[in-house]
Amino acid sequence: MPKIIWEGNRKNFGTAHKSPPLPGNAVKLRDADGFLSKARPYGIPPMLLCMLTVFLKAFLNRQPPIAPLFLIPAMLIGFLLALPLHELLHAVCYPKAATVWVGLCLRKFAAYAISYHPLTKRRFVVMSLAPAVSGVIPLVLFICTPVTMKPLLTVWIICAFMGLISPAPDYMDVVSVLKNVPPHALICDTQDGLYWYPPQNTGKAARFERESAQTNDI
């Protein structure tokens, strides 16, 4: 488990801790600002999946599975659960040597889990996709719960929507990393944006150079 520091509710979004300098050969993947709006299209497929699940459950049971009166309470429950759980699932995926700052910015209805510890490509993908679990489990529960239990079904589906759509920026990062980052590179978040760079260890760096050359020859 990494060292997780809870920063509570902050007036401004994000931690005040500064990111350390990166190696001179670091390559930027995205900027720190403006990427949330660019990630919106990545939330469309999970939204359509949830909508299709609701339609199929209603079609198969010949009645609506959602109780409109419980939509607002379900949204409040989903909001209170989804925000901190999303960031906690990010945080626990970092290695033991990492420090992760977790907090809320309630006036912006946002939460954050920020660490400047470099990650391998595989661990970065796992860390980025981990919060989707908070949407997959409620969606499975929605499918398995009897249609007569409409209040519970309403909570499940709202949590599924929030849990699967909220990682849209993470989905975008994963696609970018899989497309642009070579094997065995390190990926690191900073206050300026997301970067990747070759490993600094001599043996790993040599392996990285060989694999990069093979990739360029293909």
Q: Which among 11, 207, 3 is positioned nearest to 103, based on CA atoms?
A: 11
109 or 154: which leads in pLDDT? 154
pTM: 0.87
Contact 8, 16 (CB under 8 A): no
Q: What percentage of the chain carries pLDDT values higher than 90?
A: 68
- Flag whether 180 is in a domain: yes
**Domain for residue 16, yes or no?**
no
- Is residue 184 in a domain? yes
CB contact at 8 A, 161 and 71:
no
The whole-number pLDDT of residue 116 equals: 96
Q: Measuring CA to CA, how many Å separate 218 from each of 182, 211, 215?
A: 14, 11, 5
In a domain, 12, yes or no: no
Residue 15 placed within a domain = no
Say if residue 84 is exposed, middle or buried (CB neighbours under 10 Å; 0-12, 13-18, 19+): middle
Range among 24-38, 50-64, 94-108 with highest mean pLDDT value = 50-64
The amino acid sitting at 133 is V
- How many domains in the chain? 1
Residue 207: pLDDT band with limits 50, 70, 90: low
Q: Say if CB 170 and CB 128 are below 8 A apart.
A: yes
Tell me how far apart the alpha carbons of residues 68 and 54 are, in angstroms, rounded to a whole number.
Answer: 13
Residue 17 forms part of a structural domain:
no
Q: Which residue has the tokens 């009897």?
A: 146
143, two tokens: 């499918």
Residue 125 lies in a domain: yes
Percentage, residues of the chain above pLDDT 70: 92
Look at residue 74 and tell me if it is in a domain.
yes
pLDDT confidence of 174, banded at 50, 70, 90?
very high
- Is 115 in contact with 22 (CB distance < 8 Å)? no
With a cut of 50, say whether residue 202 has pLDDT above it. no
Q: Phi and psi (nearest 5°) for 5?
A: -110, 120
pLDDT score of 15 more than 60: yes
When the pLDDT of each residue in the chain is averaged and rounded to a whole number, the result is 88
- Kindly report, residue by residue over 110-167, the tens digit of the pLDDT: 888 999 999 999 999 999 999 999 999 999 999 999 999 999 999 999 999 999 999 9
Within 8 A by CB and 6+ apart from 218, the residues are none
> Could you tell me the residue range of the domain that residue 207 belongs to?
3-7+22-217
Per-residue confidence (pLDDT) for residue 216, from 0 to 100? 39
Query: Are β-strands 119-120 and 186-190 bridged in parallel, bridged antiparallel, or unpaired?
Result: antiparallel
